[in-house]
Amino acid sequence: MNAPVSAWAALERQQQAGPASLRWPAELGTVVLAIDSEKGGVGKSSLASGLIAVMAAAGHEVLAIDLDPRATLTAELDAVSTDPEALGVNDLLWEPPDADPEELPELRGLAEQALRPAGPKWRPVQVLAAERVLAHREADTSTPNLEHRLALALDGVAKRFRLVVIDLPPRAGGRLVGAGLLAATHVVFPGTLDEDGLVGVQDARRTASRLARTHPGTLHQVGVLRTIVEPRTRLGELSDTTYLDSFDDVVDVVIPKRVVRREARTACVPITTAPGRDAQDLITAYTLVLNTLATIAEVR
């Protein structure tokens, strides 16, 4: 990884280098990546869908896990179901308080029953979908070991996929965040170049560090990723300098702000299907993030 430079220097370097090739070694095992910021609006779901799109376009099996009750990623992946019997991630994290434990399904590997395909434009992506009721898990004190249930449900299932992406909610140290981090092998911290972005990264890193104290060696930090980077302004420069001064693991890749990103999300299609230079800027950025992740995962 190159030494971090200003966001705009990094973006200029990305654009001058042109389209990047995905480097995901065949021998690399399953990587479970959590995307974490404790502020909303920093591009977590956009980053998740972009990474998923690039991996899927390369023919890799990918699993998307949406832990945000707003279900933004679920909707973008065209995985919203009208079937009342369809299982989602909430069904993996909750059990009725009056249920007989002998009658409940085995939790280990239960995620297999909740998988659903993303929309036809997203194949071969599978989804563990979110819905609004998932928000109740934050105050759930009756379900035993709630934070550990996702990892157990993924046991034996995650290995089917080259990459698992977990979109975490912007909830400070919440139970859903804990469940996602405990299921992950790696975590990246996206942040916009403003005060909210900075605070979101700081708080998310604090939560991950607390978890590492009780579960050492299980979660590896990819670093801080500057997202939704707009044209240079004085305020943006000040924020960028703060990032570089505050964190020693700022990734030397940036995600630029592009209107085509919103258009792809609205149409529920992968950014890899969008034409034009702006779409290519995003595809290149997502590819470089994946290459950085693969390099770090290989070392582990």
Q: What is the mean pLDDT of residues 154-160?
A: 96
Q: What are 176-189's pLDDT values in tens digits?
A: 999 999 999 999 99
Using pLDDT thresholds of 50, 70 and 90, give the confidence band for residue 218. confident
Pair type for strands 116-117 and 125-128: antiparallel
Q: What is the mean pLDDT of residues 124-136?
A: 96
Q: What is the mean pLDDT of residues 219-223?
A: 95
Using pLDDT thresholds of 50, 70 and 90, give the confidence band for residue 3. low
Pair type for strands 220-229 and 31-35: unpaired
Mean pLDDT of the chain: 94
- Residue 116 pLDDT greater than 60, yes or no: yes
Give Cβ neighbours of residue 95 (< 8 Å, ≥ 6 apart): 104, 143, 144
Q: CA-to-CA distance for 259 and 191, rounded, in angstroms?
A: 18
pLDDT cut 70: percent of the chain above it: 99
What pLDDT, on a 0 to 100 scale, did the predictor assign at position 269?
97
Pair type for strands 163-167 and 125-128: unpaired
* Pair 134, 92: CB distance under 8 Å: no
- Residue 173 pLDDT greater than 60, yes or no: yes
- Count other Cβ atoms within 10 Å, centred on residue 101: 7
Least confident of 7-11, 64-68, 208-212, 224-228: 208-212
What pLDDT, on a 0 to 100 scale, did the predictor assign at position 60?
97
Q: Answer with the residue of higher pLDDT: 101 or 150.
A: 150
Using pLDDT thresholds of 50, 70 and 90, give the confidence band for residue 212. confident
Pair type for strands 62-66 and 220-229: unpaired
Using pLDDT thresholds of 50, 70 and 90, give the confidence band for residue 217. confident
What pLDDT, on a 0 to 100 scale, did the predictor assign at position 2?
60
- Strand partners of residue 35: 167, 188
What pLDDT, on a 0 to 100 scale, did the predictor assign at position 172?
78
In one-letter notation, the amino acid at residue 190 is P
Q: What are 4-27's pLDDT values in tens digits?
A: 799 999 999 999 999 999 999 999
Using pLDDT thresholds of 50, 70 and 90, give the confidence band for residue 48. very high
What pLDDT, on a 0 to 100 scale, did the predictor assign at position 178?
95
* Pair 186, 32: CB distance under 8 Å: yes
Write down the H helix ranges in the chain: 7-17, 44-57, 72-76, 89-93, 111-114, 146-154, 175-183, 195-214, 234-246, 259-267, 277-299
Least confident of 88-92, 112-116, 139-143, 251-255: 139-143
Using pLDDT thresholds of 50, 70 and 90, give the confidence band for residue 43. very high
Residue the block writes with tokens 């249930």? 149
Burial 136-158, CB ≥16 within 10 A → b, else e: ebeeeeeeeebbbbbbbbbeebb
Q: What is the mean pLDDT of residues 18-41?
A: 95
pTM for the model stands at: 0.96
User: In this structure, what token pair is assigned to residue 99?
Assistant: 């249920």
Question: In sequence order, what DSSP letters do the residues of 190-238 get, joined into one string?
Answer: EE-SSHHHHHHHHHHHHHHHHHHHHSTTS-EEEEEEEEEEPSP-HHHHH
pLDDT cut 90: percent of the chain above it: 87
Using pLDDT thresholds of 50, 70 and 90, give the confidence band for residue 268. very high
